Structure 1
Amino acid sequence: MSSLNLLKGYMSEEDTEAEAEADEQHSKLPLPNSLKRVFPKEEVEDDPEKHDGRVRSYPHQRGNWNSLVYIPYQRNPPFDLLCDQIIEFCEPEIELKRVEEPHISLTRTFVLLYHWIDNFVSAVKGSIQTFSRFDLQFDDLKVYCNEEGTRTFLALAVGFGKMEITKSVQVLDKCLSEYKLHPFYNEASFHMSILWCLGNKKSELEAKLPELNKVFEANVSDSLDLTIPITSYICKIGNKIYNLKLL
């Protein structure tokens, strides 16, 4: 090979290596700030100090939507008075806090993928569209603890209206099964949590139940109406609310 050809080959090889090095450096360039604002990195903060010590039962994942179907309850002054009296009775031994949005769960908390949402909501609406409105009544106070043992709840147990709720849960379980999601608890105890505390304080609260139920009964005699007309359910998916009206 002539000296000129050798020189050309060397220069060609050097140019190729330089281009490859430039490409590698280019691929490592940081994303411009303008694009960072358009495509921000999603980070979900889970700071228990910002939620009265509460922690997630399972970590948040992008694309997963925490969901629940439930019966809503509208708080009122007599209800708030009952909560105040119970909190005062249990202090300082047990520090109870109000449940922010009291409700009666018809499903466990479950996770939907984004592309499931529309079909799931349509299926739920179709399943309960023939259900009639009904009245619900609370019986007494009961104590519950979550599966992780991280929180204990004081709740109003459902009395009248159990049959209608049971039928609703059965059809909702069928909708959940289509997505291989867990059904409601086998031995369901329908209730509405009204107060909670951190940790497993079930035995301590159950020891106080006889006296707490006296407080409850006194409020019922005075002004607290335990009969609630149920006209709709709520399906909450992420921050979006779907109103499921009954006939």
Structure 2
Amino acid sequence: MSLVQYGSSSEDSSEDEGHVSSNAIASLSKSEPEAVKNGKKRTREDSGVQNISKKGKSKPSLPPLPTALRDLFQERERAPDDPSLHQGRTRSKPHVDGIWATTVYIDIPLTEELTDIVSTIVARAKALHPTLEAIPEPHISLTRLFRLPALHLDRFKRDIKAVFEKRCKVRLSFSGLQCFSNDEQTRSFLTLRVGSGHADLESMLAEMDSLAVKYGQPTFYDTPELHASIAWALGGHILDQSTVEAILDKENIVDGHSELDTDIRHCVVFAERVCWKIGSQVESLTLR
């Protein structure tokens, strides 16, 4: 929405009222001899010039908008999306006022063991793809991207809490490294594929799909491959199976797995926080 533009009073009046028109002057000139014939000289007040002059005076300036109101308009005024401000990422759909991008996900706690594993993976991946970006807070998505009207947000939050308030934390392990790309093929992701705990997460997905239908939003993928994203790169096919093999050092295999692959499979974490992100605001609920 564009800011309301207020023209100054002087600009509004300059053409309509700031000058005596040529027609008015001609009319006054014609009437002057008639007044002399009658032995009466018309005064400026009689001629109407004074009244026109009064109209031509500048109107008082409008008072400035209150700061609070001005700030409100500024918050609603959105600059065009600039990928350079978002690490090259582009919005898949244009922003619409009053519609909020919303996602629900499970937060993955970075234990010391998992931090070491992720750091090793990201370092090796960056050596292959220098533009790769790490994801500082790994998570497992439970929904696709929702676009919710503002008037539905409070009810949506209540529904999310009702779904998860009696759920218990989930014991998770990982079965390996895998790459995915987003629906628009604009980014690719390096992820840890979920091993144990998959059934618990699928149960959560089913409830999220019910909410998706309730709010007219897209349901999750038909054959979900649950994963925790740890890094991304621009381009739908930048990160692929060859990237995975290079990171895992497939040339040095012991008992069917590389050392890093074995570390990934032995790592266990307890996911105990469900988050929902609406716009840039994140709220969460701790599982029992």
TM range (shorter): 0.7 to 0.9
- Which of the residues 158, 168, 174 maps onto 2:210? 174
More divergent stretch after superposition (237-246 vs 209-218): 209-218
Does 2:123 align with 1:84?
A: yes
Distance change in 2, residues 1:135/1:37 (3 Å)? closer
**Corresponding residue for residue 106 of structure 2:** 71
- Measured against aligned partners, the alpha-carbon deviations of 1:18-41 in whole angstroms (never above 9, x if no partner) come to xxxxxxxx9xx9994545345335
Does 2:190 align with 1:149?
A: no
State the distance in 2 between where 1:154 and 1:146 align. Answer: 12
State the distance in 2 between where 1:145 and 1:116 align. Answer: 30
**Corresponding residue for residue 39 of structure 1:** 73
SS in structure 2 of the partner of residue 101 of structure 1: strand
Q: In structure 1, what residue type is equivalent to 2:160?
A: V
**8 Å CA contact 1:235, 1:242 repeated in 2:** yes
Does 2:167 align with 1:131?
A: yes
Does 2:228 align with 1:192?
A: yes
Q: In structure 1, what residue type is equivalent to 2:242?
A: A
**Corresponding residue for residue 282 of structure 2:** 241
More divergent stretch after superposition (158-167 vs 190-199): 190-199
**Corresponding residue for residue 111 of structure 1:** 147
**8 Å CA contact 1:140, 1:213 repeated in 2:** no
Distance apart, 1:116 and its partner CA: 0.9
Tell me the TM-score normalised to structure 1 length: 0.77
Q: In structure 1, what residue type is equivalent to 2:247?
A: L
Distance apart, 1:225 and its partner CA: 6.4
Greater CA radius of gyration, 1 or 2?
2
Distance change in 2, residues 1:106/1:38 (3 Å)? closer
More relative contact order in 1 or in 2 (CA 8 Å, sep 6+)? 1
Distance change in 2, residues 1:38/1:115 (3 Å)? closer
- Measured against aligned partners, the alpha-carbon deviations of 1:171-210 in whole angstroms (never above 9, x if no partner) come to 11111211111111111110112122111225x6322332
Q: In structure 2, what residue type is equivalent to 1:176?
A: A
**Structure 1, unpaired ranges of 5+:** 1-25
Q: In structure 1, what residue type is equivalent to 2:153?
A: I
Does 2:141 align with 1:102?
A: no
Distance change in 2, residues 1:158/1:224 (3 Å)? closer
- Measured against aligned partners, the alpha-carbon deviations of 1:107-131 in whole angstroms (never above 9, x if no partner) come to 0111121111111111121122232
Does 2:258 align with 1:212?
A: no
**8 Å CA contact 1:145, 1:153 repeated in 2:** yes
State the distance in 1 between where 2:235 and 2:245 align. Answer: 22
**Corresponding residue for residue 22 of structure 1:** none
Q: In structure 2, what residue type is equivalent to 1:130?
A: K
SS in structure 2 of the partner of residue 170 of structure 1: helix
More divergent stretch after superposition (48-57 vs 75-84): 75-84
State the distance in 2 between where 1:241 and 1:108 align. Answer: 16
More divergent stretch after superposition (151-160 vs 125-134): 125-134
Distance change in 2, residues 1:222/1:100 (3 Å)? closer
**8 Å CA contact 1:99, 1:193 repeated in 2:** yes
**Structure 2, unpaired ranges of 5+:** 1-58, 251-256
Q: In structure 2, what residue type is equivalent to 1:98?
A: A
- Give the alignment's Cα RMSD to 1 decimal: 2.8
Distance change in 2, residues 1:64/1:217 (3 Å)? farther
State the distance in 2 between where 1:154 and 1:60 align. Answer: 27
